[in-house]
């Protein structure tokens, strides 16, 4: 059983419009609000921050040391 369905617990509200969440679209109240949220993810409105060491890596594949240019003819 979900904690929000227990007696005395705070009802879950839709993060888009604030209406009570519908069980079929939880945590949203409707398909419309779920689609609005999905569009925000696709549009880049939400972002998960990366670690500092992920930035500025040179953009190329890591050098494994195997098959260097001097071995090629």
The list of the chain residues with pLDDT below 50 reads 1, 3-4
Domain locations in the chain? 13-44
- Give the integer Cα–Cα distance in Å for 55 and 32: 36
pTM to 2 decimal places: 0.54
pLDDT the model gives residue 49: 82
One-character DSSP codes across 1-69: --GGGSTTPPPPB-TTT-SBPPGGGTTSSSHHHHHHHHHHHHHTSS-PPPPGGGTTS-SSPPP-SSS-G
pLDDT the model gives residue 60: 62
């Amino acid at each position: 059983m979900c904690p929000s369905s227990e007696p005395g617990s705070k009802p879950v509200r839709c993060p888009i419009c604030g209406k009570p969440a519908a069980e079929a679209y939880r945590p949203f109240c409707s398909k419309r609000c779920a689609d609005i949220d999905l569009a925000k993810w696709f549009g880049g409105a939400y972002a998960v921050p990366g670690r500092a060491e992920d930035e500025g890596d040179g953009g190329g594949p890591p050098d494994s040391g195997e098959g260097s240019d001097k071995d090629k003819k």
